[in-house]
Amino acid sequence: MTTTVTLTGTGLPNVAPGRAGAGVFVKHNDIVVQFDAGRATCNRLIEAGLKLADLDAVFITHIHSDHVFGLAELVLSRWIETQFDKVAIPLPIFAPSGGAARFVKRMLEPYEEDTHIRREHTGSREVVLDAREFPASFTIAEIW
């Protein structure tokens, strides 16, 4: 049984050279998850040797911008990386109810024109968004 925990970003909302936004990448045996997706998360995951297609889930802890700046980039980059695979493997994105869940459900709307054009030119499949909401709570709860 092997577990690795990698900080993909520890930065603040303000941009700083060499720092990425908030995020933690955890690999436990064959399970690969990302907690939060701040600025430059994709770059950090690739630098860590991960293919975005290998991600099993993303968990958003809360709606602060520095925790979600890189989420749409992660979803779209994963789609581009896998768009010609025979079977689409959705990436579950877990977010607490309220603002975080609403953000996840709507985050790809600004990119609809872009993905439509890409699909028209390449014949690839649609972007699959698997947004999953869990109750924000002060108690311990299993969500996945």
Catalytic residue list: 66
Cβ density class 46-63: b for 16+ within 10 Å, e for less: eeeebebeebebbbbeeb
Q: Comparing C-alpha atoms, which of 64, 59, 88, 61 is closest to residue 14?
A: 64
Contact status, residue 114 vs residue 83, Cβ threshold 8 Å: no
